[in-house]
Amino acid sequence: DAGVTQSPTHLIKTRGQQVTLRCSPKSGHDTVSWYQQALGQGPQFIFQYYEEEERQRGNFPDRFSGHQFPNYSSELNVNALLLGDSALYLCASREGSGSYEQYFGPGTRLTVT
Amino acid sequence: AQSVSQHNHHVILSEAASLELGCNYSYGGTVNLFWYVQYPGQHLQLLLKYFSGDPLVKGIKGFEAEFIKSKFSFNLRKPSVQWSDTAEYFCAVNAPGRRALTFGSGTRLQVQP
């Protein structure tokens, strides 16, 4: 049973560029959330997708956007990258109905130079 | 808004010592409570969770946590730590019906052999 997978593992970008991160949820899960984890901090909620729609959003600017596909996989897009966007980006999945237990992927380490 | 405080940022223990990590949350209503662990180089894993019922919950690897509603606390305990418990521990909260997890800033536990 495959868990949550994310790609790529590491990424280096330059300020002002755009980046797309990808996530495949755990088998049987239909809800995907994205979190940003800065060094030495706990994960911060970015947004959550269910039925291909953004259902809730955290305190992140519009430069952060996402998408969910019919197969429940998801993308996180960040435009106009800033140095402060350097972080570990985590994807978490859960079953949409009822379960509050989220399963996390290994993350994508984004470095903005 | 929900917030989570973890008072111990870095804890160093010797093997066989007892562990207690503090977690306090601020939210006036019913909450779901979680402890996640992040071993070096690995992804976040769920240690234990509390939704309702017995306030003393047991998780994996000998960990337990006690929910004290009057103190808004959910402290993590283990009677005897092992070197393999070296990791970062995160407390997290969400309210039923809310989709996002709110994490504390984490506690780094270092167990010396």
Return d(Cα A81, Cα B7) in angstroms, integer.
Answer: 32
**Both tokens assigned to A6:** 């994310």
**Residues whose CB falls within 8 Å of the CB of residue B46, separated by 6 or more in sequence, listed in order:** A101, A102, A103, B34, B35, B36, B59
pLDDT for residue A109 is more than 90: yes
According to the model, what pLDDT value does residue B96 have? 65
pLDDT confidence of residue B41: 86
Question: Chain A contact for B100, CB < 8 A?
Answer: yes
Q: Which residues on B lie below 8 Å from A50 (Cβ)?
A: 99
Q: Does the pLDDT value for residue B91 go beyond 70?
A: yes
Q: How confident is the model at residue A99 (pLDDT cuts 50, 70, 90)?
A: low
Q: What is the mean pLDDT of residues B83-105?
A: 89
Which residues of chain B neighbour A48 with C-beta distances below 8 Å?
99-100
Looking at the partner chain, which of A4, A58, A107 has a beta carbon nearest the beta carbon of B100? A58
Q: Which of B43, B92, B100 has its CB closest to that of A56?
A: B100
Distance CA A46, CA B13 (A): 34
Q: What letters, b where the CB count within 10 A reaches 16 and e where it falls short, cover A75-111? A: bbebeebeeebbbbbbbbbbbbeeebebbbbbbbebe
pLDDT tens readout for residues B48-88: 999 989 999 999 999 999 999 999 999 999 999 999 999 99
In the predicted model, what is the mean pLDDT of residues A10-27?
97
Q: What is the mean pLDDT of residues B7-27?
A: 95
Give A41 to chain B, closest Cα distance, Å. Answer: 5
Do B105 and A40 count as a contact with CB atoms less than 8 A apart?
A: yes
Does the pLDDT of residue B107 top 80, yes or no? Answer: yes
CB–CB of A18/A79 below 8 Å? yes
Residues of A in contact with B101 (CB under 8 A): 33, 35, 43, 45, 92, 102
Determine whether the interchain pair A100/B94 forms a contact, defined as Cβ–Cβ distance below 8 Å. yes
Q: What's the 3-state SS for chain B?
A: CCEEECCCCEEEEECCCCEEECCEEECCCCCEEEEEEECCCCCCEEEEEECCCCCEEECHHHCEEEEEHHHCEEEEEECCCCHHHCEEEEEEEECCCCCCCEECCCEEEEEEC
Nearest to A100 among B32, B102, B105 (CB): B32
Question: A1 falls in which pLDDT band (50, 70, 90)?
Answer: low
* Of the partner residues A40, A48, A106, the one whose CB lies closest to the CB of residue B43: A106
pLDDT reported for residue B97:
67
pLDDT at A98: 62
Instruction: Collect all residues from A whose CB is shorter than 8 A from any CB in B.
Output: 4, 31, 33, 35, 40-45, 48, 50, 55-56, 58, 90, 92, 100-107
Look at residue B95 and tell me whether its pLDDT is greater than 80. no
Q: Which chain A residue has its CA at the smallest distance from B49's CA?
A: A101
Closest CA to A92 of B40, B57, B94: B94
Q: Identify the top-confidence range among A11-25, A91-105, B90-104.
A: A11-25
How do residues A5-17 score in pLDDT, each as one tens digit?
999 999 999 999 9
Triad A95, B100, B38: Cα angle to 5°: 85
Query: Which sign, positive or negative, has the C-alpha torsion B2, B4, B5, B9?
Result: negative
First-to-final CA distance of chain A: 37
Q: What is the pLDDT of residue A71?
A: 95
**Judging by DSSP bridges, how do beta strands A10-13 and A108-112 pair with one another?**
parallel
Q: DSSP per residue over A14-43, as a string?
A: -TT--EEEEEEPPTT--EEEEEEE-TTS--
pLDDT (0 to 100) of residue B14: 97
